[in-house]
Amino acid sequence: MRAAVLGAGVTGLVVARELAKRGHEVVVYEASDAVGGLVMSHEVGGTPIEAFYHHIFTHEHHIRALIDAVGVGDKLEWLPSSVGIFHRDASGAGRVWPFTTPRDLLTFGPMRLRDRLRMGAASVLTPYVTDWRKLDDIPAGEWIIKTMGASAYTEIWEPMLRVKWSEVHANLPAAWVWARLAQRARSRDRKDMGEKLGYIRGGFKQLYEALADELRGRGVKIRLATPVRRILTDGRRIDGIESDDGVEHFDEVVSTLPVPVFAKIAENLPPEYAARLEATEYMWVICVILTLDRSVQPAYWLNVADRTIPFGALIEHTNLLPREDYAGHHVAYLGRYFPPPSYSPEAERLATGDLEEIAEGWLGHLYKINPEFDRSWVTSVAPFRTSYAAPLVSLGQGKRRLPFATPVEGLWIATMAQIYPDDRGQSEGVRLGLDLVKAMSLDLRS
């Protein structure tokens, strides 16, 4: 059996690996000049670092198994994480509050003690909910108020959801919030309730290069800088694909491309199915990598619960990793998700505006987090933007989740839009690829 895999991100490479292990001939097509997809790299101090921040949680066994399998497990380190919230009170005074353990919640001053206790109890019990489908049609805000209290929503959740999801936050399903709480709960150490995160010293780039080398050793052809122009079908059966290299025929084609990209290049899809694809939207993201001569604040991951600040998170990478890995530099990310440009003038500005100007504007807000901040602390600024950062989810999302099999025999899709209610991540991408190959049942056709 001859198969084409479209996209060399984590899911595409895992699909290719599983098919090759089963003895099939596989060709991977990738539009960019490197493997890894959204785990693309930038260098700081001579060391690769992800353009869009990444780490792994202790419970993410699928990505851990892959890291070991391709021989880079010795570079994976587990490091104590720290989380904070920047909150501004009614007087306008701002403060960074630690928010890593349940004890931190108990000392969170902007909420009354009874409200903190209620939120803490709900946060502990929520991960034990086993059927997320019951939360799929409930607005996140309504559910948070009911389970954690109005104060928890007003002081913590609403500002963060507004920055994370912008105009669409009111239609966010409670299932999405539940999945985030469950994820964090699984990553905590049961003894001290602290959190550890995993990172490959020297960058995740090493994982994807090692995986690509293994695939080539198994006979997989990886064609970089080769975007697919058309997926050829007669509406019933797959025929092949067309790229700049010409037309090639395949028995099976697996697309891991963003759904809107797949919809544009796949020919002769049934109208009803094509409409489902076209209704699938993605959030954009801007990430700005800052190189600094000192730290801005003490936490690794700082959630920004302040509507006057245009970014939603400040992730100080070197509050997790030693700065010696980056030639002594402090490294931080500023991150902001936003919906497609058609949703609002602000979304359009973020999607089409000059990245350097946007990044420079964001720097002007860091003094709110640290009043001593000065622009001279920043020695370099590297902004990145992508239009396919995460699926845009809304009420009833679970019912709209696309199956792996398309109406065209031999044509399959596996994308982050099918991971819901889990959030996109490397481990979820591995799991998605494994599940797709199982769904194909290719062993029966070998």
- Provide the 3-class DSSP secondary structure of residue 36: coil
**DSSP-assigned letter for residue 420:** T
pLDDT of residue 205 exceeding 70, the answer is: yes
Res 189: pLDDT: 55
Q: Quick one: average pLDDT of 409-437?
A: 93
- Residues pairing with 230 in the sheet: 242
Res 443: pLDDT: 44
Lowest mean pLDDT among 28-42, 189-203, 211-225: 189-203
Share of the chain above pLDDT 90, in %: 79
Res 200: pLDDT: 98
Residue-wise pLDDT tens digits, 45-83: 999 999 999 999 999 999 999 999 999 999 999 999 999
Lowest mean pLDDT among 58-67, 122-131, 263-272: 122-131
Residue type (1 letter), 284: W
Q: Quick one: average pLDDT of 354-368?
A: 97
Q: Say what the pTM is.
A: 0.93
What is the rounded distance in angstroms from the CA atom of residue 49 to the CA atom of residue 79?
Answer: 16
Residue-wise pLDDT tens digits, 131-162: 889 999 999 999 999 999 999 999 889 888 88
Kindly give the pairing relationship between strand 94-98 and strand 83-88.
Answer: antiparallel
Residue-wise pLDDT tens digits, 368-389: 999 999 999 999 999 999 999 9
pLDDT of residue 446 exceeding 50, the answer is: no
| Cα→Cα distances 43→51, 173, 290, 373, Å | 9, 37, 12, 24
| Cα→Cα distances 217→33, 70, 268, 399, 446, Å | 19, 12, 36, 40, 21
Q: At what angle do helices 61-69 and 205-217 cross, to 10 degrees?
A: 60
List of domains in the chain? 2-38+203-280+395-444 (3.50.50.60)
Task: Kindly report the average pLDDT of the chain as a whole number.
Answer: 92
Res 56: pLDDT: 95
**DSSP-assigned letter for residue 409:** B
Residue-wise pLDDT tens digits, 162-188: 878 888 999 999 999 998 888 766 655
Res 106: pLDDT: 86
What is the rounded distance in angstroms from the CA atom of residue 380 to the CA atom of residue 293?
Answer: 10
- Residues pairing with 285 in the sheet: 337, 386
pLDDT of residue 294 exceeding 80, the answer is: yes
Contact 17, 218 (CB under 8 A): yes
Res 192: pLDDT: 53
Distance spanning both ends of the chain, measured CA to CA:
7
